[in-house]
Amino acid sequence: MTTATAPPEEPLSGEANRAAQEPRPWWLGALRWMVEANVAVVTFCAIVFGLFVGAILIVVTTPATLTAWGHIASAPGHSLSVIFSTLGNAFGALFTGSIFSPSAVGHAISTGNGWNTAFTPISETMVSATPLIFAGTGVAIGFSTGVFNIGGQGQLIAGALAATYVGFGVHLPIVPHLILVVLAGAAGGAVAGFIPGILKARTGAHEVIVTIMLNYVFLNLLDYLLVTPPLQQPGQSNAISRTVPASARLPHLFGGGLRVNAGFLIALGVAAAASWFMKRSTLGFEFKVIGSNPSAGRTAGMDARLASVLVLTISGALVGLAGMSTLSGTDFFLSSGYGGNNGFNAITVALLGRNKPIGVVFGSLLFAALSTGGRYLQATTNIPLDLTQVIQAVIVFLVATPALVREIFRLREAGAGKILLFTKGWGS
């Protein structure tokens, strides 16, 4: 249509042509942007759809709504109100548990007290996001290099273990001690990432299998160490580690009332550094070349095997920091199955953030909000926390298939960034 209105004496091409011939108000552009399948809109639609699936699950499984369904023919009004109030309570709990509760904020404003209560939800979301940012960045660096690191759980445990040993085993003033603890966390994760890396480079063992198997190895190793001195808490028969001293704890950012700590800032710093590394540094460039086209990398003299060792080591180090951040930031001791789902959620967060550190930060905050809200949801309405994992999975399904989102929401075609991931066959 643009070419039809273009004056023939001024043949402009492409963008320039469109810009010159179609001066349209900014709000029209904004509207058009909103119905395009671009990255932001696709992500937003994915989140909406994920919450929708969550709503369906609640409606078809919660006892109250199940009884309501039974009476839907006899008393439709009442049944619907029960169903909607259940949903309203659930999503209300997700929101107040993760962002803020209007009543608590109102109370704080009117009385001048209780600010800690008002800020607790958002602080908890930041606390949950901290390990996800570390681990998600680590996994994302692997993804954009063609290395699939599913060993987050194991590397996280390795990092937390190393940080704990340095935490209670070394006696130093707080600043050098904390630096050592952070480095130990990275080193522990790096070792756990180095193993699949070197195995891949030397023997061709595929990292997907090796990293997953290592998860179970580290889970069991942790179980063993937790009941063995010196890690086990003296005088305890439970599988619980010693507690790290105050000098090995990350300081709180806003006083003792809120748990958000320096780990969050370190995580943001690490994400920024990773962003610089992948965009600007020579090594990061080499990684990306090898990831997208190994033979081109080889031709240019890059060592693909060395790269896979380095990538998995770096990726492991970042995931190890995730373990350190929860240990030294909020938990202060280890227990069986440490880290929970953080290692696996790192994968979904990396995908949601499209393997870019800045995207990972936002993805982590979103998933952290979901899980923080989910815990509150479980506490207040008895709906299990696992609901949020389902919602997260649905979101990533859709983010991974923008074409599907476009069809569901009838969006216009646009350059919706497909997730850049260079998976290869099992053999290479």
Minimum Å distance from CB 331 to other proteins?
A: 21
When the beta carbons of 204 and 415 are compared against other proteins, the nearer one is 204
Minimum Å distance from CB 153 to other proteins?
A: 10
Token pair of 99 as six digits: 């962002």
Token pair of 118 as six digits: 């008002």
Q: Residue numbers of the site for other proteins (CB under 8 A)? A: 57, 61-63, 148, 150, 199, 202-206, 208-210, 212-217, 220-221, 223-224, 228, 344, 347-348, 351, 383-384, 386-390, 392-394, 396-397, 400-401, 403-404, 419, 421, 423-428
When the beta carbons of 186 and 394 are compared against other proteins, the nearer one is 394
When the beta carbons of 60 and 109 are compared against other proteins, the nearer one is 60
Minimum Å distance from CB 42 to other proteins?
A: 12
When the beta carbons of 335 and 428 are compared against other proteins, the nearer one is 428
Minimum Å distance from CB 407 to other proteins?
A: 9
Minimum Å distance from CB 381 to other proteins?
A: 11
Minimum Å distance from CB 379 to other proteins?
A: 14
Minimum Å distance from CB 10 to other proteins?
A: 36
Minimum Å distance from CB 97 to other proteins?
A: 17
When the beta carbons of 126 and 419 are compared against other proteins, the nearer one is 419
Minimum Å distance from CB 427 to other proteins?
A: 5
Token pair of 417 as six digits: 């960034």
∠ CA 409-410-416, nearest 5°, is 85
When the beta carbons of 120 and 128 are compared against other proteins, the nearer one is 128
When the beta carbons of 58 and 314 are compared against other proteins, the nearer one is 58
Q: Which residues of 278-307 are buried (b: 16+ CB within 10 A; e: fewer)?
A: beeeeebebbbbbbeebeebeeeebebeeb
Asked if 242 and 230 count as a contact pair (C-beta separation under 8 A), the reply is yes
When the beta carbons of 109 and 408 are compared against other proteins, the nearer one is 408
User: For residues 59 and 55, what is the distance between their CA atoms, to the nearest angstrom?
Assistant: 6
When the beta carbons of 199 and 334 are compared against other proteins, the nearer one is 199
Least Cα distance to 334 among 224, 174, 259 occurs for 224
Paired residues of 232 in beta bridges: 241
